[in-house]
Amino acid sequence: MKKVERINILMRYINNRSRFTISEIMQEFNISRSTAIRDIREIEAMGMPLVAEVGRDGGYFVMNNSVLPTVRFTDNEIKALFIAFMATRNQQLPYLKSRQSLAEKLLELISENQQDDLVLLNQILLFEGTNPNNPDLLELSDLPHPMLERLIQILLLDSYLLITIKEEQVIKSYPIFLLHLYNEKGLWMIEGFDLEDEKRKIFPVDSLNNVKSYSTKKRLRKKKILEKLRKQEEVTNLTLELGPKAIAQFKKYHPLKVSISYTSPYQSTAILKTFINVNHSEELTEITNWLLFLGGDIKVREVPEEVIKGLQERICLYCP
C-alpha cells in the first residue's frame, strides 16, 4: 500500500475510534513501530488534533469536536472518480443540475499535471450515448424528470408514500410502500407495494404527477409487507438453458427482475428461471423481443404458449 493511500485510510481509522495505540496501528496496517509513529506525526502536522496519553498503557485519542482533515486522493483514485463521472453522461441522474460546474469544482481540487491527464482522458474515452465527432454533444439532457428529486427527498424520511399517477388522461392516487427506485432502459421506475390492493406494482416516474408522505395511523409494517410479497411470489413459467453466447447477450442487457444461475465452474452455461405475466401485453412484448436478442444459443425447458406465439409472429414479419 502506498504511503498516501495508507495515510488517508489511517486518518479515517483514527477518526472513527475514541482511542487507539501504536500497537493497534502496527497490527492493522502491517507496518513497523517507527513507520506508525512517523505516520501519526505526519497526520498531526496536517491538523488532526491528537492527544497522547502517557503511561504504560498509554495511547492516543482525537480531541473532542474535531473535524477530519481534508482527504487526499491518489492519482488512480482521481482518475477513477473522473471516469465514473464521465460514464454517467446521458443517464439523467438526480441532483445533477450542472455537470459543467461540478467538473470545474473537481478540477480545482487537483494539480495542473492531474488536470492535464483528465483532459486527455476526456478526449480519448467514449461512452455509450456520446457523439464520437463531438464528445461534448449529448444525446439527452442530464436532467431527469423534475419529480425524481422530490421523490428521493421524501424517501429519505419516509418509505410510505401517496403517489399520484396520470394514466390515459386520468389522475389516480396510490398509497404505496416503496420497495425500490430503479433505472431501466433509461427510465426511472418505482417498485412499490400497493397498501390498498396489497400487491406489488410498478410505476414510471415520468407519469408521476405528485408525491407526498402517506400519513395514516394504521400502517402495515415492513415485515408484514415482505411476508405478503413472499406469499404472492409467482410460479416460474419460463425456464431456459443459456450457452456462452446467450450469457454474453444477457450481460449486455436483461430485465431487472430476471437473473441467471451458472451451472458450470467457468460460467459458460447457466439456467434462467422467471415468471412472465402473459396477460400483461407490454411485458409479453418486451420478453419476446428480449428472447430474440439473446439469440440462438439457448435451450427451452419451459415457455408459455403466448410467448411462442409472439416469437412466431415476430419471425414471420421477416419472412418473404
Cell numbers found for residue 283: 411485458
Q: How many domains does the chain have?
A: 4
> Using CA atoms, how far apart are residues 165 and 90, in angstroms rounded to an integer?
25
- Say if residue 202 is in the same domain as residue 250: no
- Among residues 115, 138, 161, the one where a domain terminates is 138
Domain with 89, as residue range(s), is: 75-138
Which pLDDT does position 228 carry in this prediction?
Answer: 87
- pTM value is 0.59
For 295, counting Cβ atoms within 10 Å of its Cβ (0-12 exposed, 13-18 middle, 19+ buried), the class is middle
Q: Say whether both 170 and 227 belong to one domain.
A: yes
Q: Which three-class secondary structure state does DSSP give residue 6?
A: helix
Residue where one domain finishes, among candidates 176, 201, 231: 231
pLDDT tens digit at each of 320 positions of the chain: 778 788 888 888 877 777 888 888 888 888 898 998 888 888 887 777 777 776 665 678 776 655 555 556 778 888 888 888 888 877 788 887 767 777 777 777 777 888 888 888 887 888 776 666 766 655 556 677 888 989 999 998 899 999 999 877 788 999 999 999 988 777 888 999 999 888 888 888 988 999 999 877 777 888 899 888 888 776 889 999 999 999 999 988 888 778 899 998 888 999 999 888 888 888 888 889 999 999 989 999 999 999 998 888 887 765 55
- Beta carbons within 8 Å of 191's beta carbon, 6+ residues apart: 178, 179, 180, 181, 182, 200, 201, 202
Here the cell at position 152 is 428521493
Decide if 187 is inside a domain: yes
Q: Which residues contact residue 92 at a Cβ distance below 8 angstroms, ignoring those fewer than 6 apart?
A: 140, 141, 142, 143, 144, 145, 186, 188
In a domain, 70, yes or no: no
CATH number at residue 220: 2.30.30
Number of helices followed by number of strands (H, E) in the chain: 11, 13
- Report the distance separating Cα 202 and Cα 200, nearest Å: 7
Same domain, 114 and 38: no
- List of residues 6+ apart from 212 with CB closer than 8 A: 154, 161, 162
In angstroms, the CA 264 to CA 116 distance is 45
Which of 89, 120, 138 is a domain's end point? 138
171 is a domain residue:
yes
* 69 falls within a domain: no
Amino acid 140: pLDDT:
59
pLDDT at position 72 = 66
The values of phi and psi at residue 262, to 5°, are -70, 140
Of 138, 223, 133, 139, the C-alpha closest to 177 is 223
Distance CA(209)–CA(173), nearest Å, equals: 9
Q: Is residue 87 part of a domain?
A: yes
Question: Whole-angstrom Cα distance, residue 67 to residue 108?
Answer: 22
Q: Is residue 67 part of a domain?
A: no
Helical H runs in the chain?
Answer: 3-15, 22-29, 33-45, 75-87, 99-108, 112-124, 146-155, 222-231, 244-252, 281-294, 305-316
**82 and 106 fall within a common domain:** yes
**In-domain check, residue 68:** no
Position 201 scores a pLDDT of 87
CATH number at residue 15: 1.10.10.10
